[in-house]
Amino acid sequence: MRTAYSVETVRAAERDLMARLPEGALMQRAASGLAAACADLLGRVYGSRVVLLVGSGDNGGDALYAGARLARRGAGVTAVLLSPERAHTGGLAALRRAGGTVSGTGGAEELIARADLVVDGIVGIGGKGGLRAEAVPLAEAAARARAAVVAVDLPSGVDADSGQVNGAAVRADLTVTFGTHKPGLLVDPAREYAGSVRLVGIGLELAAEAELEALQHTDVAALLPLPGAESDKYRRGVVGIAAGSARYPGAAVLAVAGALRGGAGAVRYVGPAAEAVIARFPETLVSDRGPRSAGRVQAWVVGPGVGDDAATVAEVLTADVPVLVDADGLRLAEPAAVRGRAAPTLMTPHAGEAAALLGVAREEVEAARLTSARELAERYGAAVLLKGSTTLVAGPGGGAVRVNATGTSWLATAGSGDVLSGLAGSLLAAGLRAVDAGSVAAYLHGLAGRFAADGAPVGAHDVAEAIAAAWRDVRD
Ligand SMILES: NC(=O)C1=CN([C@@H]2O[C@H](COP(=O)(O)OP(=O)(O)OC[C@H]3O[C@@H](n4cnc5c(N)ncnc54)[C@H](OP(=O)(O)O)[C@@H]3O)[C@@H](O)[C@H]2O)[C@@H](O)CC1
Ligand SMILES: Nc1ncnc2c1ncn2[C@@H]1O[C@H](COP(=O)(O)OP(=O)(O)O)[C@@H](O)[C@H]1O
Ligand SMILES: [K+]
């Protein structure tokens, strides 16, 4: 499991550790890891041109000490100081001793244009708001330059705790982060600014709960429901799919396609698209008598393509088993009916649907994805899976939010959300907790999207077909 901790938690751990270590030891650990990452990126350090962008805090100190290490290995290192009188004294002295030079911001853009590597030490976890005006031209010059850009701890200008980006920020090829990931490195839009992320251990002991968790292959493998010798189709769980309409029969077919690959022993379909479902998936149990009379299920999926069928949504919400609400179902569900449920609920909006539920503009949700997912989960007393390039899954009782980045932008194709709903519903029926079902489904769905696309456009049915390959890959 990869975890990310809040700045407050990092600060507390830093204080504890600093009290036990000689002064400056922590910064040396950070600088050593940073310099090693820079050297790897450069390939040949000797003779390379390195520009350090140095702000007034310890983030700039890290950059200066790392710059000194590179200078000792023969790099030509210049530090551009944003506030010369407040730059880290020890770091500056070390750089000078190693033969590095110092410049003000005048002429910095030409230096950046000629550099092989730009190290962004403008601001780290002490940053507030977007980049300040004097730093913006430097970030822009770095974006234009052919140099590789390495961000120290996090790209300057992004919010460490929320992943929000207010105004300009540095775009890095690599972020070298210290002690733990920060939420902003894993959540869009900030994640896009971070490039690849390298974690450098500095010995922090993080006592509090993580803000974010990102499942890895082994975590997912441990959660996958596997049949045993004593299994039969009912014990494995039956998932009910209430989806589709005369107008949107495809949503039903795609949700069933996802559900068949999710680990439930049987898929029961109710609704007006039974013929289309059976034609494609003859193994589906179909019924046209409505959810309540359809027979026992261990979880429901309601909503994809149901159009205006509010009655079906209301009926499913009265079931005493876990319910996944998606698409039209999110619009039609009575908030009180969701909040009043005793069994778990998993809501799966994309940003537009989340915005409608929260009564804000879509852009607001996209800019503040983490806060939005948490807010919805709290308001509805439900687990909330917020779709997008990084998918978030927040539980109703607070706690760490799961983040998933296995996907690919090829998944932005009509109907791929329906496949995800079926898959997650199937995992719910197999007995996974709502947050686990949502995050495991997002993980497999993202991988399946990658496998199916492999660099070319795909349809949602291709994604469904690749889910089996994603399972195998995870279990390997
Ligand atoms: N935690 C750890 O365990 C370890 C932490 N380490 C390192 O320390 C870093 C944190 O250092 P930090 O606390 O000195 O804060 P930092 O990020 O340099 O920023 C503060 C300065 O930036 C300025 N500033 C603020 N906002 C700004 C903006 N938007 N745009 C531009 N400038 C802005 C602000 O100015 P002021 O408001 O005072 O005018 C202030 O001077 C951390 O990220 C990591 O790299 C490692 O060395 C070892 C282990
Ligand atoms: N840029 C992207 N990168 C990765 N995944 C994406 C991206 N855009 C959308 N997705 C994923 O594709 C799926 C789209 O779902 P949704 O928006 O509900 O589409 P539909 O309603 O057409 O089925 C979600 O799983 C979402 O996370
Ligand atoms: K930085």
The secondary structure of residue 86, as a DSSP letter, is: G
**Amino acid found at 228:** G
The interface pTM score, or ipTM, of the predicted complex is 0.94
Residue 182 has pLDDT above 90, yes or no: yes
8: three-class secondary structure by DSSP: helix
Q: Indicate if ligand 2 lies below 6 Å from the C-beta of 424.
A: no
Residue 157, Ramachandran bin (φ over 0: left; ψ between -120 and 50: alpha; else beta) = left
Which superfamily does CATH assign the domain made up of 2-211 to? Answer: YjeF N-terminal domain (3.40.50.10260)
Give binding residues for (6S)-NADPHX as ranges.
58-62, 124-130, 153, 251, 305, 350, 418
Mean pLDDT of 280-309: 95
Residue 437, Ramachandran bin (φ over 0: left; ψ between -120 and 50: alpha; else beta) = alpha
In the reported structure, the alpha carbon of residue 130 is separated from the centroid of ligand 1 by a whole-number distance in angstroms of 13
Closest ligand by atom to 120 CA: 3
pLDDT digit string (tens) for 377-408? 999 999 999 999 999 999 999 999 999 999 99
Task: Tell me if 80 sits within 8 A of 111, measured CB to CB.
Answer: yes
Residue 318 has pLDDT above 90, yes or no: yes
Residue 234 has pLDDT above 90, yes or no: no
Closest ligand by atom to 193 CA: 3
Q: Please report the pLDDT score of residue 124 as a whole number.
A: 98
Nearest-atom number in ligand 2 for the CA of 350 is: 17
pLDDT band at 212 (very low <50, low <70, confident <90, very high): very high
- Which residues are near ligand 1 (CB < 6 Å)? 10, 14, 26-27, 30, 55-62, 122-129, 131-132, 135, 152-153, 178-179, 202, 204
pLDDT digit string (tens) for 239-289? 999 999 999 999 999 999 999 999 999 999 999 999 999 999 999 999 988
Q: Indicate if ligand 2 lies below 6 Å from the C-beta of 256.
A: no
In the reported structure, the alpha carbon of residue 190 is separated from the centroid of ligand 3 by a whole-number distance in angstroms of 13
pLDDT digit string (tens) for 436-454? 999 999 999 999 999 999 9
**pTM for the structure as a whole:** 0.96
Residue 445: beta bridge partners?
Answer: none
Closest ligand by atom to 154 CA: 3
Topology of domain 217-475, per CATH?
A: UDP-N-acetylmuramoyl-L-alanine:D-glutamate ligase (3.40.1190)
Give binding residues for AMP as ranges.
387-391, 417
* Cα distances (Å, whole numbers) of residue 116 to 175, 241, 445: 16, 55, 38
pLDDT digit string (tens) for 34-55? 999 999 999 999 999 999 999 9
Residue 198 has pLDDT above 90, yes or no: yes
Q: Indicate if ligand 2 lies below 6 Å from the C-beta of 411.
A: yes
At what angle are helices 434-453 and 467-475 packed, to 10 degrees? 110
pLDDT, the chain, mean: 97
Instruction: Provide the residue ranges of all domains of the chain, joining segments of one domain with +.
Output: 2-211, 217-475
In the reported structure, the alpha carbon of residue 453 is separated from the centroid of ligand 2 by a whole-number distance in angstroms of 14
How many CB atoms are closer than 10 A to CB 253? 30
DSSP per-residue letters across 404-449: E----GGG-STTHHHHHHHHHHHHHHTT--HHHHHHHHHHHHHHHH
In the reported structure, the alpha carbon of residue 443 is separated from the centroid of ligand 2 by a whole-number distance in angstroms of 13
Nearest-atom number in ligand 2 for the CA of 419 is: 23
**Amino acid found at 73:** R
How many CB atoms are closer than 10 A to CB 146? 8
In the reported structure, the alpha carbon of residue 7 is separated from the centroid of ligand 3 by a whole-number distance in angstroms of 14
pLDDT band at 325 (very low <50, low <70, confident <90, very high): very high
In the reported structure, the alpha carbon of residue 388 is separated from the centroid of ligand 2 by a whole-number distance in angstroms of 6
Nearest-atom number in ligand 2 for the CA of 442 is: 25
Q: Please report the pLDDT score of residue 11 as a whole number.
A: 96
Q: Which residues have CB under 8 Å from 169's CB, separation 6+? A: 130, 131, 139, 155, 156, 157, 158, 190, 193
pLDDT digit string (tens) for 119-142? 999 999 999 888 999 999 999 999
